[in-house]
Amino acid sequence: MQLRSRHLLGLEDATAEEITLILDTAETFREIIERPIKKVPTLRGITVLNLFYEPSTRTRISFELAEKRLSADTVSFTPGTSSVKKGESLRDTVQNIEAMKIDMVVVRHSSSGVPYFLTQCTQSNIINAGDGAHEHPTQALLDMFTIRRKYKKLKDLRVVLVGDIKHSRVVRSNIWGLKTMGASVAVCGPSTLLPFEVEKFGVDIFTDLDKAIDGADVVNIMRIQLERQQAGLFPSQREYTNLFGMTRERLQLLNKNYTIMHPGPINRGVEITNEVADGDSSVILEQVTNGQAVRMAVLFLLSGKKEEE
């Protein structure tokens, strides 16, 4: 079994077998990062470009560490200090860097479709580290990995995604991945942050958090950005917190062995209270650790693939 594509652009088309392969492979790497010497020679000779057009802390560092721990050579790109400032196009930027002989590109960009665009103008293997509000496949994979580690399965679990559903790439990848793996998925947020015809994703839709999380196993909370309030999508953070904030009281509604997740960065006191974020059932930091293992697995599985199959 191997991945069908030499790129990871999203999870919409990923099969259950492919997701399982990535998660199983990640288990091996999860073990490696617990060792005193967290380095293997797997990607020796491979050069990876980290092309982050958008600010990112955990995803960028997670990928960089994953690459280094696999012994890849890495180079990071920051548009703020590059020729992008001089008006260089994305295609020219990438092709110039590729001319320095790189093998893989990890890309984060504010525009949906940029990872696909790169597959059309470079020879490198492309890994999507988040494109616009489209997909963030490695985040969803690490979320699934974290859930699967705890419950030993994904099938038939009830997962609720709460918050800004409209603008979240994490939500989209989670929906595709979780549904493919047989989980039951619900989304919950203000109706202004539920995108048009979201029901066509095949998920349950709620605007009442208490109803949404009633009997849920996993609650994955998405960040709310202040700019959404300024754009008139909800009246105030205070009202948002009252209606959609994850509080200790609301935890009573969940199934007994519940899990609280958040892809970060967290707005403490807005979408989640301190005691929930730091509570025993919160796996927020574990998600971060697992992210590295999942990214190592993805880099490993794609690194050997040169030709489209």
Partner 1 sequence: MKTPIYDMLIKGGLVIDPALGFGQEAAIFVKDGKIAAIVKESDVSPKDMASIPVENVVDASGKLVVPGLIDMHVHLREPGREDEETIITGCQAAAAGGFTSICCMPNTNPTIDHQETVKFVLSRAEQADAHVYVVGAITKMLKGEELAEIGDLVNAGAVAISDDGNYVQNPEIMRRALEYARMFGIPIISHAEDYFLCANGVMNESYQSTRLGMKGRPGVAEEIAVLRDIKLCGFTGGRLHIAHITTAGAVKAVRQAKADGIDITAEACPHHFTLTDEEIGKEFNTNLRVNPPIRTQKDVEAVIEGLIDGTIDCIASDHAPHADEEKDVEFDQAPSGMIGLETTLGLVKIALIDKGYLSWADAVRKMTYNPARILGLPAGTLEVGTAADITVIDPEKKWTVKKENFRSKSKNSPFIGWKLSGKIDITILGGRIVYRNK
**Pattern 266-295, binding to partner 1, x per CB under 8 A?**
------------------------------
**Pattern 196-235, binding to partner 1, x per CB under 8 A?**
xxx-xx----------------------------------
Instruction: Report, in this order, helix, strand and coil percent for the chain, each rounded to 5.
Output: 45, 15, 40
CB 295 within 8 A of CB 22: no
Cis peptide before 55 (omega within 30 of 0): no
Show contacts with partner 1 in window 109-148 (CB under 8 A): 109, 111-114, 116-117, 120, 131-135
Output the smallest distance, CB 45 to partner 1, in A. 31
CB 168 within 8 A of CB 271: no
Residue whose CB is less far from partner 1, 72 or 171: 171
Output the smallest distance, CB 146 to partner 1, in A. 23
Segment lying near partner 1 (by CB under 8 A), choices 23-31, 86-94, 211-219, 256-264: 86-94
Site size toward partner 1 (CB under 8 A) is 27
CB 23 within 8 A of CB 148: yes
Output the smallest distance, CB 10 to partner 1, in A. 10
194 C-beta neighbours (distance < 10 Å), count? 18
CB 95 within 8 A of CB 122: yes
Query: What are the E-state strand segments in 184-227?
Result: 184-188, 204-206, 218-221
Residue whose CB is less far from partner 1, 113 or 279: 113
Residue whose CB is less far from partner 1, 151 or 201: 201
> Any residues with CB less than 8 A from the CB of 82 and at least 6 apart, and which?
88, 93
Q: Which of 44, 91, 155, 238 binds partner 1 (CB under 8 A)?
A: 91
SS3 label, residue 176: helix
**Pattern 51-70, binding to partner 1, x per CB under 8 A?**
--------------------
Residue whose CB is less far from partner 1, 30 or 172: 172
Residue whose CB is less far from partner 1, 73 or 88: 88
Q: b vs e for 231-262, b when ≥16 Cβ sit within 10 Å of the residue's Cβ?
A: eebbeebeebbeebbbeeebbebbeeebbbbb
Question: Which residues lie across from 125 on neighbouring strands?
Answer: 104
Output the smallest distance, CB 130 to partner 1, in A. 10
Q: State which amino acid sits at residue 236.
A: S
Residue whose CB is less far from partner 1, 197 or 307: 197
Assigned token pair, 307? 């030709």
CB 9 within 8 A of CB 137: yes
Output the smallest distance, CB 163 to partner 1, in A. 15
Output the smallest distance, CB 285 to partner 1, in A. 27
**Pattern 163-192, binding to partner 1, x per CB under 8 A?**
---xx-x--x--------------------
Show contacts with partner 1 in window 94-113 (CB under 8 A): 109, 111-113
Which of 218, 220, 223, 252 is CA-nearest to residue 240? 223
* Footprint of partner 1 (CB under 8 A): 12, 89-91, 109, 111-114, 116-117, 120, 131-135, 166-167, 169, 172, 195-198, 200-201
